[in-house]
Amino acid sequence: MKPCYNPFPMSSPITIKKKLENYSLVNKVTGRLGDSICRFEDGRKNILYLKYGSGAARVSLQQETVVLEKLEGSRLRVPKKVHQEINNGQFYLLMTGLSGVPANKLRDRSKEDILRLASAAMNEFHSVVLSDMDDLYSLQKQLDIIHYNIRMGFIKNDDFKKSNNGKDPQSIYEYLKNNMESMCRDVLIHGDYCLPNILVNGADYGFIDLGECGLGDPHKDYSTLEVSIKRNFGEKYIQVFYEHMDSRVQPDSNKIAYFKLIDQFGYHLDIEKFKALG
């Protein structure tokens, strides 16, 4: 297998080139924040991913690196950090890839089977206890970012108001801040728990895109999964998911709505302004 093209800028770190000398590039895409995401494979189908970027992408990749370090040694099947480096203002993260198919693209299983697996995987994720999680994502950090984005003019105000019954970003932020104390803060959550971020390999599964992982309320993960199920399978399947959850789980619709409001700030982010952050 020969590389499709050279993915590296001229200033790319020699250390990373050395680690990838037996690998070939099979795919390269650009992330939402302008980061480059390169998939490499060797002759034995081992997978490595290289992510690199500057500005807001650099901040995001640094946080993802922290998460991978914290989850190293946990029972969760997640990528492992191979190398990190800052070079000419760009942050480089090299990590292992996970084999498997995104849960939303499984063709040999019924939707109900997929949602049964998604519930089991979520239960496992939420039951993990780590000794040190101070550097991980939290609701307070998320609200601080939202407040900063509002002050910097990174939220598309008119679009936001159209999607939120005329309420502007500041008033929604105030509501979120005033009600944050009712949210749980002691469960390990994925932060972006959606079907594409669950990779399934036979009876095994793993998790990717962990940059927003941290201590928080499980309703954050319920919220993002509900949106993912509706998008991929249809709204009626949301209840199918909950039927497979632990019987002690009693979803609170108000908390789910709270976290869906938080997501509105991502949907209406002026990405071109935000990418230059940092």
Rounded to 5 degrees, φ, ψ at 227 are -60, -40
Q: Which residues contact 147 (CB under 8 A, 6 or more apart)?
A: 173, 177
pLDDT of residue 277: 64
Residue ranges, the chain, pLDDT below 50: 1-6, 9-10
Where along the chain do its domains lie?
A: 14-96, 101-275
Domain with residues 101-275, CATH architecture = Alpha-Beta Complex (3.90)
Rounded to 5 degrees, φ, ψ at 117 are -65, -40
Tokens of 138: 């939290």
Instruction: Give the strands of the sheet with 81-87, arranged side by side.
Output: 24-30, 36-41, 47-53, 90-96, 81-87
pTM score of the predicted model: 0.92
Rounded to 5 degrees, φ, ψ at 150 are -65, -50
- Measured CA to CA, the distance from residue 257 to residue 235 in angstroms comes to 15
Is it true that 14-96 and 101-275 share their CATH fold?
no
Rounded to 5 degrees, φ, ψ at 229 are -65, -45
> Does domain 14-96 sit in CATH 3.30.1360.10?
no
* pLDDT, tens only, 61-103: 999 999 999 999 899 999 999 999 999 889 999 999 999 999 9
